[in-house]
Amino acid sequence: MISDFRSFAADRVMVMAAPNGARRTQAEHAALPITAEELAADAVQLRDAGVSVLHLHVRDSAGRHTLDADRYREAMNSIRDRVGDELIIQVTTEAVGSYGADEQITVVRDLRPEAVSLALRELCPTPEQEPGAADFFRWLKRTGIWPQYILYSEADLRRFDAMRRRGVFAEDAPFVMLVVGSYADGIAGTVADLETLLSAVDCDAFPWSVCCFGEHEHGVMVAATARGGHVRMGFENNVLMADGSPAADNAALIRQFTAATRGGARRPATAAEVRSALLPH
């Protein structure tokens, strides 16, 4: 797997999209997809723009973040009806202050999605919880579910790397998402923030991607691509184009990125290529 993820990243970049997130509303952008039908329509545009992985949040009837399995199934079925297997659907387990680790694990066991994102500090906040988390990670591997571990700080990254070296994740090179900036705190991430994270540990030892909250998203994505990382864009993190104007929709952010990186050494990977190189076999 180590050689696979490195050779894959040499000439391909995985473009992920996070079209809605847990907090942003249509009052902030009218094109934010909320319903299953809106998410499915967005998925078509994202696939056509070069996305291979869709990071999926669902909302309840009041528009609030939920981990309800039936809501997930409705959205996933709608997306599959429109794009088939041309997108990898990654469900989130984000707590947003409303869910505990047991509830996060339960929805994954119930859904058995192709891919899932897991915030390390939420799922396993203390060393005492590592044995139980390790059992879950081993179950993910046996079941063939592709996990991505969300890391929000240098401390998260160093702890992750120490756990990785001890074998807690049941694989040598787990896939991570480095987060720069914060929606809840109104902090815009920067390229300098990304560089700080990349210098905390040897990030060449595992596949990594980055998302960036705020108006510097585009610059951070281009910098990450130059450093060999993968990228995630979308209205969960940012609704502005690089020039500060509002993005028409999620796909506009993706097209801006692919235009800026076209002609470089790395082209956007297809979902089939991501499955072949990075997903459990």
Measured CA to CA, the distance from residue 14 to residue 9 in angstroms comes to 8
162 located within any domain? yes
Residues 31 and 39 sit within 8 Å (Cβ to Cβ): no
Measured CA to CA, the distance from residue 149 to residue 34 in angstroms comes to 24
Measured CA to CA, the distance from residue 233 to residue 50 in angstroms comes to 12
Quick one: tokens of 76?
Answer: 């996933």
Measured CA to CA, the distance from residue 70 to residue 107 in angstroms comes to 10
Which pLDDT score, from 0 to 100, does residue 1 have? Answer: 46
Overall pTM surpassing 0.85 (yes/no): yes
Residues in the chain, pLDDT under 50:
1-2
20 located within any domain? yes
281 located within any domain? no
Which pLDDT score, from 0 to 100, does residue 97 have? Answer: 87
Which pLDDT score, from 0 to 100, does residue 109 have? Answer: 98
The position carrying tokens 């999620």 is 250
Q: How many CB atoms lie within 10 A of CB 166?
A: 10
161 located within any domain? yes
238 located within any domain? yes
Strands 88-92 and 65-66 come out as unpaired
Which residues, in sequence order, are bridge partners of residue 13?
268
Which pLDDT score, from 0 to 100, does residue 184 have? Answer: 80
Domain containing residue 242: 2-276
100 located within any domain? yes
The total number of structural domains in the chain stands at 1
Task: Specify the CATH number for the domain of residue 154.
Answer: 3.20.20.70
Measured CA to CA, the distance from residue 31 to residue 270 in angstroms comes to 25
Quick one: tokens of 152?
Answer: 């929000």
